[in-house]
């Protein structure tokens, strides 16, 4: 096993990897940009090396800086986390050429599966059922219209490279294609440095189901069941759970078989995720993510398997040591992503300084977080600040537990995505399992959700009333002093009532 690894990432995933490594007796090396010099992963690692620069393009995305840090620190391996260089085949190759272990799949597997067109070709050759679509890129909007006419509208115009919902546009008629092509191609160039696009048939109301897989270097492989990831907005997930309410044991076995078939087709090693679209009882291969997923904790909660530990073991050359019959899913787990976003204003990014901070706890609650008081939240990095994960013996109990946990959560200084998640949890259709990938976009998120949001809205309403009354004071017979005394009494009365309702003050 490794004695020291470098974690080429930041935020909650850097802390997630660091904690498992420490439990395994492995020393950790953190890297950081100037923006992150006070971050928790920097403070908790055995070593921390500055990369310089404020932006990702000046720090975490500079391969030579990462490799130099690994050399200077004496690290034997590099774990890329997710995002940044995690699915960069060229970087993975550089790591191995430098004599370091890459804690991830072989560069060739990343290259094949990281490109949506080559992955479709590989899966087609392996006999895996695909969403109907192209196996070559389109050169311009005119070619895209011709291809769409053959596939049938609506179609999804998608970036060939990258992932994370970037470079995707839905086109429902020919007149929409030119604009969609320009925006999707531009977004793909900005996000991945590759503007190639291709088309797939767009399934109007599908569910997004993914299967976690593990492969070692000795030919052993298992799947760890499925995750339901349909609660998303513009292809950005908000809530994930395991297992899915629409997948029975027979379909789970079949999806797992296909997922392992996909991995074997590219000689996969390590942890990976095979994503499917499910519609009307059928499922179709979408893509394979050649890295750890943000939502991996729900799989860990129901299987009891530490996926980071397994990544480290496989990268060190160890066999899995267990087979498919040893995998058992118990209970139900749900994860909510806590992003710095104002969900009542269209999920716009929220920036600021984290002031008060209160995290939930209790039975069956896990928090993966990089938050601390005084933390600066800016625009240059991914908005995800934390993940709240719960487990219970059944889905309904897990939903109630998550609702309770989100009510306890308080992050002041920036707006967070918890109210949107609370809105989903309160919907009867979600509780019954009746939803698809458009469910979140169909909800009215303009009203406050959760005690903290309701309190903030009520205080804002009082403030507005005070301002209006203050302006009207000049035309009334009441003195300013009299109005101030009355308003203070009203505010005090409200605050006491709010404190009684919430069970205490802010933590």
Which tokens is 50 given?
Answer: 């500055």
DSSP for 137-190 reads -BSSHHHHHHHHHHH-SSEEEEESB--TTTTEEEE-SGGGHHHHHHHHHHHHHH
Cα–Cα distance, 29 to 2 (Å, whole number)? 12
> Is 252 one of the annotated active-site residues of the chain?
no
Secondary structure class of 54 (helix, strand, coil): coil
Secondary structure class of 357 (helix, strand, coil): strand
Tell me the pairing of strands 27-32 and 47-50. Answer: parallel
Cα–Cα distance, 351 to 415 (Å, whole number)? 8
Which tokens is 339 given?
Answer: 């992003």
φ, ψ for residue 368 (rounded to 5)? -110, 110
The DSSP call for residue 370 is: -
Cα–Cα distance, 164 to 23 (Å, whole number)? 30
Which tokens is 411 given?
Answer: 């992050």
- Exposed, middle or buried by CB within 10 Å (0-12, 13-18, 19+), for 211? buried
The DSSP call for residue 326 is: G
- Is-contact 292 272, C-beta < 8 A? no
- Is-contact 213 259, C-beta < 8 A? yes
Cα–Cα distance, 11 to 41 (Å, whole number)? 7
Catalytic member of 16, 120, 291, 366: 291
Which tokens is 383 given?
Answer: 């908005």
Cα–Cα distance, 270 to 105 (Å, whole number)? 6
Cα–Cα distance, 492 to 485 (Å, whole number)? 11
HEC string of 59-103?
CCCCHHHHHHHHHHHCCCEEECCCCCCCCCHHHHHHHHHCCCEEC
Cα–Cα distance, 455 to 335 (Å, whole number)? 25
Other C-beta atoms closer than 10 Å to the C-beta of 451 total 18
Residues with catalytic function: 291
């Amino acid at each position: 096993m490794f004695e020291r690894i470098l974690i080429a990432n930041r935020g909650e995933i850097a802390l997630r990897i660091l904690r498992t490594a420490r439990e395994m007796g492995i020393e950790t090396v953190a890297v950081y940009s100037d923006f992150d010099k006070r971050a928790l992963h920097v403070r908790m690692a055995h070593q921390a090396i500055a990369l310089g620069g404020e932006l990702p393009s000046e720090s975490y995305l500079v391969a030579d800086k990462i490799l130099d840090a690994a050399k200077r620190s004496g690290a034997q391996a590099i774990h890329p986390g997710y995002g940044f260089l995690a699915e960069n085949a060229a970087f993975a190759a550089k790591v191995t050429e430098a004599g370091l272990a890459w804690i991830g799949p072989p560069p060739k597997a990343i290259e094949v599966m990281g490109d949506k067109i080559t992955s479709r070709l590989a899966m087609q050759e392996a006999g895996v059922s695909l969403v109907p679509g192209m196996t070559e890129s389109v050169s311009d909007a005119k070619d895209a219209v011709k291809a769409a006419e053959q596939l049938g509208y609506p179609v999804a115009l998608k970036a060939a490279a990258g992932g994370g919902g970037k470079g995707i546009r839905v086109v429902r008629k020919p007149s929409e294609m030119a604009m969609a092509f320009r925006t999707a191609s531009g977004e793909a160039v900005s996000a991945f440095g590759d503007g190639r696009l291709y088309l797939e048939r767009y399934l109007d109301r599908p569910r997004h189901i993914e299967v976690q897989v593990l492969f070692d270097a000795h030919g052993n492989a298992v799947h760890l069941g499925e995750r339901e990831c349909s609660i998303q907005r513009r292809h950005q997930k908000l809530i994930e759970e395991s297992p899915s309410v629409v997948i029975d044991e027979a379909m789970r076995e079949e999806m797992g078989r296909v997922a392992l078939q996909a991995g074997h087709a590219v000689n996969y090693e390590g942890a990976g995720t095979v994503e499917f679209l499910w519609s009307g009882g059928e499922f179709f291969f979408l893509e394979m993510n050649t890295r750890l997923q943000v939502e991996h904790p729900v799989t860990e909660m129901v299987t009891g398997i530490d996926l980071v530990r397994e990544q480290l073991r496989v990268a060190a050359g160890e066999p899995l040591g267990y087979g498919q019959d040893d995998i058992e899913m118990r209970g139900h787990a749900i994860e909510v992503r806590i992003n710095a976003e104002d969900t009542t204003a269209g999920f716009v990014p929220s920036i600021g300084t984290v002031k008060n901070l209160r995290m939930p706890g209790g039975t069956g609650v896990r928090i993966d977080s990089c938050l601390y008081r005084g933390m600066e939240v800016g625009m240059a990095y991914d908005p995800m600040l934390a993940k709240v994960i719960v487990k219970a013996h059944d889905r309904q109990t897990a939903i109630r537990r998550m609702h309770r946990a989100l009510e306890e959560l308080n992050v002041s200084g920036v707006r967070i995505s918890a109210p949107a998640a609370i809105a989903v949890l309160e919907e009867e259709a979600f509780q019954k399992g009746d939803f698809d990938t458009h469910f979140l976009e169909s909800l009215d998120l303009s009203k406050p959700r959760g005690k903290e949001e309701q309190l903030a809205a009520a205080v804002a309403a009082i403030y507005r009333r005070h301002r209006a009354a203050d302006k009207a004071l000049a035309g009334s017979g009441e003195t300013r002093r009299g109005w101030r005394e009355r308003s203070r009494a009203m505010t005090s009365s409200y605050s006491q009532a709010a404190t009684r309702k919430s069970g205490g003050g802010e933590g």
